[in-house]
Amino acid sequence: MRAARVLLRPVGFAGFGLLTLVLLAAAFAPVLWGGRAAAVDTGNLLAGPSAEHWIGTDNLGRDLFARVLVAARLSIVLAVAATAISLVLGILLGAAPMLLGRRLGRLVTSAVNVLVAFPGLLLVLFFAVVFGVGARGAALAVGVAGAPAFARLCHTLMAAVSERDYVAAARIAGVSRIRVLLRHVLPNVAEPLIVNATMAAGGVLLTFAGLSFLGLGVQAPSYDWGKLMQDGLNGIYVHPLAALGPGIAVVLAGLAFNLTGEAFAAAFGLGDQPGRAHSMEEPREPVAATPAVPRTVLSVEGLRVTIPGPAGPIRAVRGVTFAVSEGEAVGVVGESGSGKSLTALAVAGLIEPPVRVEAGHLVVAGEDLMAAGAHRRLGTSLAIVFQDPMTSFNPAHRVGPQLAEVSRFHQRMGRKAALARAVDRLRAVRIREPERRARQYPFEFSGGMRQRAMIGMGLMGDPRLIVADEPTTALDVTVQRQVLELLAEVRRDTGAALLLISHDVSVVTDVCDRVLVMYAGLVVEELPSKDLRTLARHPYTRALVAAVPDMDTDLSRPLAVIPGLPADPVHVPAGCAFAPRCPLADDHCRAVAPALVAGVACHKSTEVPV
């Protein structure tokens, strides 16, 4: 499957095609044209290109084209051998911290770091002198000189893998260090290593050509492309093709390795991958524009968010309608993947193509986001708080100036005034010593403090709506409490409305007036939060509430569980999306999707015992 993916893209096709040609030449050229390449023709010394000798002959009258083809084997073998030496040494050195323990490992790592800092060519020349002139010496020299770069790469990759819990678990299970390396670490770093080795082989080919060209590499009577270039150099003005021919071969072969590496990288999902085939065939259903509900700060109708995906469009939000009144607090609950966050992002105007947002209307603080260029003007009437504020702050900038940026951009404040407001806002979100804190970087803040600072950033303007997506999920109870209290206080002071997204039913009931329950991209129930635990009518809502233990849960009974898995947003079932997991489902449910009527989307809401 992966191989197919590699070949299907133009880079992969060109790379593989070229590499196949080069390898075929390396394998068969000496057999096929070895005789012709060695045949001396004294009547035809240093001849120019002709029908018989495509790029001419050398000083013994031997056919240069045949010699270039024949030289492929030695050139490729040497390049591959040198790359293999680099790779093996690199893996050994990179794995040293894992195998030798902390102290010795650190020594090896610093040595590698020093070597990486040396110019590569200098290392090659140094080792070439150490290992002696000739093909074997050159291969060793290039291989050893390339090892530090691989060692560093291996070290970084392996360090990332050894942090993973499965490595710790294997150690605890008594698996030896070597076996951990062989079974868990190497297979998981193999892909990037292969990619890098392939690309490096292209570079090594060039280095080799350089060495032979300088006379340090392959020695007569053997010849590789570098040696041929050196031989051709004498007559470069009369007979340029003699030197250029082998040069072109080097470039083509190098390109073959590099393109193949690129294609591998793309197929393995490393680096950037332009033009990956994501399908979005689904025709746009036209959405009729509808007017906003009056006296609301947020009014959404028929919101759909569709993401192009490898297996077809992912219909993450499939038609959500709701409104938030001035000053109201509305919660959204549901399992992960139910479309909560995308709803929030759409409301915040933060979704960009290729993800598609459609709606009858999506009006935030009087501004219709479905109109072109609208979120520009949204500016400061909206504040946004995310789950992980570490990703919402720029780690390279101090906190104060980042807050100030908002006012400088949206309210056209001067630098001084904006910074003063930032400090004031940090104080407003109860960050102690706000002047000092404003000069710190985000990583110097604890999780709870970052979350406060994020709220402070929202308060730089005059928000009428605060959208908070799992604002306390990464925090523990005491800090969560403080952040929720802060949100409540901000709302009391500013009269802002709140859209709070959380998977934690108890947080939502604690903070919000009204709750929307989402399942598979739809609102399945909407009810006052005080009724969530007792008066829910949708089977999903009831299961969700029952599945979460609280401080009053009956300890003598097992917790309720929701059987099965959440709906796959690529293949949402035709009828009610909850039907495969619903104890009440019947054929009607499986065929006809229930609409949201009187706050609940279920055919049997009246039958559910309350």
Partner 1 sequence: MSTLSFHDVRVRYGSHTVLDDVSLEVTDGQTVGLVGESGCGKSTLARAAVGLAPLTGGQILLDGRPVPNRGRRPVQMVFQDPYSSLDPRMTVGESLAEAMPERLGRTARQAEIARLLALVHLDAARAADLPGRLSGGQRQRVALARALAARPQVILADEITSALDVSVQGAVLNLIRDMRRDLGLSMLFISHNLAVVRYVADHVAVLHNGRIVEFGPTAQVLGAPRHDYTRHLLAALPGAVPLKEQT
Q: Summarize as ranges the residues that interact with partner 1 (CB under 8 A).
A: 164-166, 168-175, 183-184, 187-188, 335-336, 447, 475-481, 484-485, 488-489, 492, 503-507, 509-511, 543-544, 547-551, 553, 555, 558-562, 565-566
Q: Which residues pair with 518 in a beta bridge?
A: 523
Give whichever of 397 and 530 is closer to partner 1, judged by the CB atom. Answer: 530
Give whichever of 69 and 515 is closer to partner 1, judged by the CB atom. Answer: 515
In the bound complex, what is the minimum distance in angstroms from residue 190's beta carbon to partner 1? Answer: 9
Cβ(500)–Cβ(510) below 8 Å: no
Q: Is 543 in the site for ligand SF4 (CB under 6 A)?
A: no
Query: Residues 481, 483, 484, 485: is their CA dihedral positive or negative?
Result: positive
In the bound complex, what is the minimum distance in angstroms from residue 561's beta carbon to partner 1? Answer: 5
In the bound complex, what is the minimum distance in angstroms from residue 320's beta carbon to ligand SF4? Answer: 17
Long-range contacts of 574-579 (CB under 8 A, 24+ apart): 576/601, 576/602, 576/603, 577/519, 577/520, 577/521, 577/522, 578/519, 578/520, 578/524, 578/539, 578/540
Binding span for ligand SF4 by CB under 6 A among 42-50, 81-89, 114-122, 601-609: 601-609
Give whichever of 135 and 505 is closer to partner 1, judged by the CB atom. Answer: 505
Cβ(425)–Cβ(403) below 8 Å: yes
Secondary element (H or E) of residue 524: strand 522-528
Q: C-alpha angle with apex 183: 178 to 184, nearest 5 degrees?
A: 100
In the bound complex, what is the minimum distance in angstroms from residue 544's beta carbon to ligand SF4? Answer: 12
Cβ(467)–Cβ(499) below 8 Å: yes
Cβ(447)–Cβ(504) below 8 Å: no
Alpha helices in 39-172 (DSSP H): 64-100, 102-117, 120-131, 135-162, 165-172
For residue 329, give the nearest of 298, 286, 283, 290 by alpha carbon: 298
Q: Is 546 in the site for ligand SF4 (CB under 6 A)?
A: no
The correct pick among 11, 461, 539, 591 for binding ligand SF4 (CB under 6 A) is: 539
Name residues whose C-beta falls within 8 Å of residue 187's C-beta, 6 or more positions apart in sequence.
none
Give whichever of 363 and 576 is closer to ligand SF4, judged by the CB atom. Answer: 576
Residue 156: contacted member of partner 1, ligand SF4, none (CB under 5 to 8 Å, by partner type)? none
In the bound complex, what is the minimum distance in angstroms from residue 399's beta carbon to partner 1? Answer: 20
Residue identified by tokens 């009258």 is: 61
Give whichever of 15 and 594 is closer to ligand SF4, judged by the CB atom. Answer: 594
Q: Is 520 in the site for ligand SF4 (CB under 6 A)?
A: no
In the bound complex, what is the minimum distance in angstroms from residue 48's beta carbon to partner 1? Answer: 57
Cβ(318)–Cβ(518) below 8 Å: no
Site size with ligand SF4, rule: CB under 6 A = 12
Residue 546 CA to its chain's centroid (Å): 36
Residue 364 CA to its chain's centroid (Å): 31
Give whichever of 278 and 581 is closer to ligand SF4, judged by the CB atom. Answer: 581
Q: Is 116 in the site for ligand SF4 (CB under 6 A)?
A: no
Q: C-alpha angle with apex 135: 133 to 139, nearest 5 degrees?
A: 100
Residue 285: contacted member of ligand SF4, partner 1, none (CB under 5 to 8 Å, by partner type)? none
Binding span for ligand SF4 by CB under 6 A among 93-101, 375-383, 478-486, 583-591: 583-591
In the bound complex, what is the minimum distance in angstroms from residue 545's beta carbon to ligand SF4? Answer: 15
Give 368's DSSP letter. E
Give whichever of 286 and 558 is closer to partner 1, judged by the CB atom. Answer: 558
The correct pick among 403, 594, 596, 599 for binding ligand SF4 (CB under 6 A) is: 594
Q: Which residues pair with 557 in a beta bridge?
A: none
Residue 610: contacted member of ligand SF4, partner 1, none (CB under 5 to 8 Å, by partner type)? none
Q: Is 544 in the site for ligand SF4 (CB under 6 A)?
A: no
Angle between helices 135-162 and 120-131 (to 10 degrees): 130
Q: Is 604 in the site for ligand SF4 (CB under 6 A)?
A: yes
The correct pick among 29, 487, 536, 602 for binding ligand SF4 (CB under 6 A) is: 602
Cβ(250)–Cβ(209) below 8 Å: yes
In the bound complex, what is the minimum distance in angstroms from residue 164's beta carbon to partner 1? Answer: 5
Q: What six digits make up the tokens of 407?
A: 């006012």
In the bound complex, what is the minimum distance in angstroms from residue 519's beta carbon to ligand SF4? Answer: 9
> Helix (H, G, I), strand (E, B), or coil: what is residue 95?
helix
Q: Is 589 in the site for ligand SF4 (CB under 6 A)?
A: yes
Cβ(230)–Cβ(58) below 8 Å: no
Residue 122 CA to its chain's centroid (Å): 36
Residue 483: contacted member of partner 1, ligand SF4, none (CB under 5 to 8 Å, by partner type)? none
Give whichever of 331 and 539 is closer to ligand SF4, judged by the CB atom. Answer: 539
In the region spanning residues 396 to 455, those forming contacts with ligand SF4, defined by CB under 6 A, are none
Report d(CA 142, CA 121) in Å as an integer. Answer: 9
In the region spanning residues 138 to 157, those forming contacts with ligand SF4, defined by CB under 6 A, are none
In the bound complex, what is the minimum distance in angstroms from residue 162's beta carbon to partner 1? Answer: 11
Residue 576: contacted member of partner 1, ligand SF4, none (CB under 5 to 8 Å, by partner type)? ligand SF4
Q: Is 519 in the site for ligand SF4 (CB under 6 A)?
A: no
In the bound complex, what is the minimum distance in angstroms from residue 185's beta carbon to partner 1? Answer: 10
Residue 240: contacted member of partner 1, ligand SF4, none (CB under 5 to 8 Å, by partner type)? none
Cβ(413)–Cβ(367) below 8 Å: no
Cβ(334)–Cβ(340) below 8 Å: yes
The correct pick among 579, 595, 599, 609 for binding ligand SF4 (CB under 6 A) is: 579
The correct pick among 438, 576, 596, 599 for binding ligand SF4 (CB under 6 A) is: 576
Report d(CA 568, CA 320) in Å as an integer. Answer: 18
Give whichever of 478 and 606 is closer to partner 1, judged by the CB atom. Answer: 478
In the bound complex, what is the minimum distance in angstroms from residue 580's beta carbon to partner 1? Answer: 13
Name residues whose C-beta falls within 8 Å of residue 312's C-beta, 6 or more positions apart in sequence.
279, 281, 282, 570
Which positions touch ligand SF4 (CB under 6 A)? 539, 576, 578-579, 582, 584-585, 589, 594, 602-604
